[in-house]
Structure 1
Amino acid sequence: MSDRQTLPLEGIRILDLTSVIMGPVCTQILAGYGADVIKVEPPEGDIMRHAGAKQEPGMGAMFLHSNRGKRSIVVDLKVQQGQATIRELLQGADVFVHNIRPAAIERIGLDQASVRALCPNIIYAELTGYGITGPYAGRPAFDDVIQAESGLASLFSLQSGGAPAYLPALIADRLTGVTAAHRVLAALVHRERTGEGGYLNVAMFETMAEFVLSDHFGKRTFDLTSGDIGYSRLLTPYRRPYKTADGHIAVIVYNDKHWKSFFDVIGDPETFALDSRFQTAAARADSYDHIYRVVEEVLAKETTAHWLQTLTAAEIPCAPVNSVEHLLDDEHLRSTGFLQKHERDGRVEWAASALPGIRAAVSPRKGEHTQDYVKASRESGLASTT
């Protein structure tokens, strides 16, 4: 069966005025489902074109991994002709996505009211740092700032007692991008059913605040003004890769069966039978520091290979602590086709694709498709007025 028969967004056109990571992640997901995504770049190009390793100028790895399957056009939004070009392209678009700050998008006449007056059935998706009605509206936002402001960075302190830290991944950008993609998909379903376009705002701060609070609301779930914050299982300092005799291992001894099996394989069934802290989920929930410290002390006595073999046989979830490089040779990822090979002008590029059946493609060079889309749009506009 061909891609054309299987991709669910075939025939949907998305005008993409996003840059950096958050917005491009959203529109790359939609492009993977078959949408025709027109990436609008300024004359200097998306700043992420210069980030990460590269084989040619303006095609950095960070850009490639957020812009696959799109078409790139160059439009100068600072001039009236550029703004007019976007209005022409909007006529053939189903979705308009941008992550431009509210004051700037209004200044160039592409705010929600202006665009939806021009195209009532369009889905207008606005990705911002903060919700547009609160006191933070309009502030600039970057992943590091949102990790700190959402409480995520502080969780490292709560767990370890050390300094706050950033997760060494662009979690706020990428999670917000994924959230925006499924909001756009829901809006497309709604339009299919009702014929109505719509407006949606997806904000980094609110997205990450929900992400953190969903795990750590704690007693404030029942009384917003008092009570402990946090989920103790995630915050115990003993929840970490465990040291073995020759390295580290990830182990999660979780349910009743796991705990009984754990004490059986280490030759200490009496402890499970006599210590009530291990026997039920309710008891364990009050004793995470103790029970995970016991696991840590036991695992330190044998090698990683020993524990992987022993715990796997006992059906206790465990895994080696891989380096990022290891993923490139991981037998499971290779066997499922997760790592995808693309060629551009005789040179190879590798990409990761977690979802089989989603279109994989190369990323566009800056302005590679300007003539295709801008010329066609202008010719269509001229034809409609004659």
Structure 2
Amino acid sequence: MTVPPTPAPLAGFRIVDMSTVLMGPVATQVLGDYGADVIKVEPPEGDVMRHAGMARTPRMGAMYLANGRNKRSIVLDIKQPAAKEALFALCRSADVFIHNVRPAAMQRAGLGYEDLRSINPSIVYVALVGYSEHGPYANQPAFDDIIQAGAGVSGLFVRAGLDEPVFVPMTVADRVTGLTAAHATLAALLMRERTGIGQAIEVPMFETLVQTVLGDHLNGQAFEPPIGESGYSRLLTPHRRPYRTLDGYIAATPYNDKQFRAFYAAIGRADEIDSNPLLGSQSARASNYHATYAQLAEIIATRSTDEWLALCRAHEVPCARVNSIDDLLVDPHLEAVGFFERGEHPSEGRIVQMRPSTRWSSADVSIRRHAPRIGEQSVELLAEAGFGAERIDAMLAEGSTVDGRPGPRD
């Protein structure tokens, strides 16, 4: 009996992706992993993120190799009429159009929601912006660092005891916003399946990250009138950090009553749980995280990392070794679950990729396409859009598109 191929969750959906840098490409990477046909529309010079990280060949950097997977690339210089016509042709059959260009610029280019809705009434139009267009910050430029600062992330480090604000050393604003855009797109597609109605969606970085920050830290300001200050004390105490051991560092978090009792019993200090009013219950610890975590820091400094890992795991107390980036590459759990996929990229040679983190019982969520070169599918996609060979050749000659297919010239 022939086993039918495993379907991808978004097979048959087409995404026209005119986003650049990171938050948009993160969103469309997720949608591509789920099986959508993601058409990455790039200017002739390509997405700037192609330059991020080390590269074997120009414009094929490490970050792009990760976020560019499961997509097809077409070059369209939309300042030229033929390229803009091609973009409209792609959008006529698309389910989603996504971009991170300022809305005013998209309106001037004739690529606003109403423009695309006029040729495809059911399209889901997703605009990723720095700040909502309905507020006074609308026209301000926004990048990950700017949003981390403005949304309060950097200032949290001062509340937590550092001398000055710092940035989280990863693109947290871009990635959180990209994931938000992905699930908003999925919700809009589900709504369209039920109602037949398309949608315009605004996904702002600032508001998205503020919601993330205040979800933890609104605290007493959640009430009117306020019943206390902002900030969740457990997250802000300076003692909430990896603890120093005799030979390194460990993260250990006894959290509930059972775990605290197990931890103190394991070190021979069980009587302290009932005799110390700061430790005896979840509510008592919640009012005294600073003192509770300070005591944990003193205790953990007395043994080695391996000793603490063994003790905590034996008594089901959450713990972890503090890994470096390089440690992750040889982590035994990640190896066991096949997290890293190694294979041959058509132009970049042997590469390492991270598979989608979710597992599905009966769906294909996987890496099906390696990140394409600039315009690698330009000719293919123009032909799919109904452009004949002569028109495509004319567009190549005038520079409104680029043929990025590998060939003998490489």
Which range is displaced more, 1-10 or 35-44?
Answer: 1-10
Query: 1:41 and 1:215 mapped to 2: Cα distance?
Result: 38
Q: Corresponding residue for 1:164?
A: 165
Between 256-265 and 223-232, report the one with greater CA deviation: 223-232
In structure 1, the residue matched to 2:89 is 88
Aligned to 1:132: 133
| Deviation, structure 1 residue 203 | 0.5
- Unaligned 5+ segments in structure 1 are none
Matched with 1:25 is 26
> Structure 1 length as normaliser, TM-score?
0.95
Q: Which moved more, 1:203-212 or 1:221-230?
A: 221-230
- Equivalent position SS for 1:16: strand
Displacement of 1:194 in angstroms is: 1.3
Tell me if structure 2 keeps the 8 A contact 1:101–1:140: no
Q: Are 1:375 and 2:376 matched, yes or no?
A: no
Residues 224 and 96 from structure 1, CA distance in 2 versus in 1: closer, same or farther, beyond 3 angstroms?
A: farther
Post-superposition Cα deviations, 1:137-176, rounded to whole Å, max 9, x if no partner, equal 1221100000000000000111024110100000000010
* Residue range with higher mean Cα deviation, 16-25 or 61-70: 61-70
Name 2:395's counterpart in structure 1.
Answer: none
2:219 alignment counterpart: 218
- CA shift for structure 1 position 79: 2.2
Instruction: Name 2:394's counterpart in structure 1.
Output: none
Q: For 1:151 and 1:266, how far apart are their aligned partners in 2?
A: 39
Kept after mapping to 2: 8 A contact 1:128/1:204:
yes
**How many residues in Structure 1 have an aligned counterpart in Structure 2?**
381
Q: Does the C-alpha gap of structure 1 residues 358 and 129 become closer, same or farther in structure 2, counting only changes over 3 Å? A: same
Deviation at 1:93, TM superposition (A): 0.6
State the alpha-carbon separation in 2 of the partners of residues 23 and 279 from structure 1: 47
State the distance in 2 between where 1:267 and 1:359 align: 49
- Residue 51 of structure 1: CA displacement? 1.1
Kept in 1: contact 2:98–2:125 (CA 8 A):
yes
Q: CA deviation at 1:4?
A: 5.1
2:103 match: 102
The aligned counterpart of 1:355 is: 358
Deviation at 1:135, TM superposition (A): 0.9
| Equivalent residue letter for 1:372 | E
Change (3 A) 1:255 1:179: same
Whether contact under 8 Å (2:220, 2:226) holds in the other structure is no
Shift of 1:228: 0.5
Deviations 1:298-321 (A, max 9, x none): 000110011111111111111100
Give runs of ≥4 in structure 1 deviating > 6 Å: none
Q: 1:62 to 1:378 in 2, by over 3 A?
A: same
Q: 1:274, CA displacement in angstroms?
A: 0.5
Contact 1:143 1:171 (8 Å CA) reproduced: yes
Match of 1:113 in 2: 114
Q: For 1:246-288, what per-residue CA distance to the aligned partner results, in whole angstroms no more than 9, with x for missing partners?
A: 1000000111011111111111122112012111111111110
Q: Give the corresponding residue for 1:67.
A: 68
Q: By how many angstroms is 1:50 displaced?
A: 1.1
Q: CA deviation at 1:6?
A: 2.5
Question: How far is 1:80 from its partner?
Answer: 2.4
Which residue of the partner structure matches residue 5 of structure 1? 6
Post-superposition shift, 1:227?
A: 3.4
Return the offset for 1:187.
Answer: 0.7
Q: Provide the C-alpha distance between the structure 1 equivalents of 2:222 and 2:310, rounded to a whole number of angstroms.
A: 41
